[in-house]
Amino acid sequence: MLTEKDCQDIEIRGITVKEIEEQLRSFREGFPFLPITRPATSGDGILKLSGEIRDDLIRLYEKRLKKEIILKFVPASGIASRMFKDLYAFLEKGDKYEDRKYIEKFIRHLSGFAFYDELKSCLIKKGYKPEYLIKSGDYTPIIRTLLEKDGLNYANLPKGLIPFHKYGEKTRTAFEEHLAEGAMYCKGNSNIVRIHFTVLPQHKEAFTMLLDSIRKDFEKKYGVEFVVDFSIQKPSTDTIAADRENKPFRNKDGKLVFRPGGHGALLKNINELNGDIIFIKNIDNVVPDNLKHNTIRYKKVLGGMLISFRERIFDYLNALEIYKKNDKELLNEIMTFLEDELCVVAPPGMDQWREEKKKKYLVSKLDRPIRICGMVKNEGQPGGGPFWVKNSDGSVSLQIVESSQIDLSDSHMNKLFNASTHFNPVDLVCSFKDYKGNKFDLQRFVDPQTGFISRKSVEGKELKALELPGLWNGSMSDWNTVFIEIPLSAFNPVKTVTDLLKSSHAEQS
**HSE of 90 in the Cβ direction (CA atoms, 13 Å)?**
20
Residue 282 inside a domain? The answer is: yes
Domain co-membership, 152 together with 207: no
Domain co-membership, 237 together with 165: yes
User: For residue 383, what pLDDT is reported?
Assistant: 65
Residues 172-225 have pLDDT tens digits of 999 999 999 999 999 988 899 999 999 999 999 999 999 999 999 999 999 999
Q: Which domain holds residue 480?
A: 4-28+36-79+160-489
Residue 507 inside a domain? The answer is: no
* Helix, coil or strand: residue 165: strand
Q: From the CB of residue 409, how many other CB atoms can be counted at a distance below 10 Å?
A: 8
Domain co-membership, 12 together with 152: no
Residue 496 inside a domain? The answer is: no
| pLDDT band of 508, cuts 50, 70, 90 | low
Domain co-membership, 239 together with 116: no
Residue 505 inside a domain? The answer is: no
For 244-267, b/e burial (b = at least 16 CB within 10 A) is eebebbbeeeeebbbbbbbbbbbb
Domain co-membership, 173 together with 118: no
Domain co-membership, 216 together with 310: yes
Domain co-membership, 265 together with 140: no
* Helix, coil or strand: residue 105: helix
Residue 509 inside a domain? The answer is: no
Q: Percentage of the chain surpassing pLDDT 70?
A: 99
* Helix, coil or strand: residue 42: strand
Q: How far is CA 76 from CA 64, 231, 389, 485, in A?
A: 28, 10, 30, 25
- CATH number of residue 441's parent domain: 3.90.550.10
The one-letter amino acid at 105: K
- In the listed set 129, 156, 183, which residue is the last one of a domain according to the structure? 156
Q: Is 308 exposed, middle or buried (0-12, 13-18, 19+ CB in 10 A)?
A: middle
Nearest 5 degrees, angle CA 287-CA 291-CA 295? 75
Residues 364-373 have pLDDT tens digits of 999 999 999 9
Domain co-membership, 141 together with 219: no
Residue 442 inside a domain? The answer is: yes
Residue 381 inside a domain? The answer is: yes
- In the listed set 105, 139, 156, which residue is the last one of a domain according to the structure? 156
Domain co-membership, 52 together with 90: no
Mean pLDDT, residues 413-425:
92
- In the listed set 98, 130, 156, which residue is the last one of a domain according to the structure? 156
| pLDDT band of 80, cuts 50, 70, 90 | very high
Domain co-membership, 188 together with 168: yes
How far apart, in whole angstroms, are the C-alpha atoms of residue 255 and residue 278? Answer: 40
| pLDDT band of 25, cuts 50, 70, 90 | very high
Structural contact between residues 368 and 438, judged by C-beta atoms closer than 8 angstroms:
no
Cα dihedral 261→263→268→270 (10° resolution): 170
Residues 265-316 have pLDDT tens digits of 999 999 999 999 999 999 999 999 999 999 999 999 999 999 999 999 999 9
Residue 333 inside a domain? The answer is: yes
| pLDDT band of 74, cuts 50, 70, 90 | very high
User: For residue 410, what pLDDT is reported?
Assistant: 95
Q: From the CB of residue 502, how many other CB atoms can be counted at a distance below 10 Å?
A: 11
Residues 54-64 have pLDDT tens digits of 999 999 999 99
**HSE of 412 in the Cβ direction (CA atoms, 13 Å)?**
4
How far apart, in whole angstroms, are the C-alpha atoms of residue 235 and residue 463? Answer: 20
Residue 509: pLDDT over 60? no
Lowest average pLDDT, out of 64-68, 277-281, 433-437, goes to 64-68
| pLDDT band of 382, cuts 50, 70, 90 | low
Domain co-membership, 450 together with 464: yes
Of 499, 372, 387, 479, residue with least CA distance to 426: 372
The count of domains in the chain is 2
Domain co-membership, 170 together with 285: yes
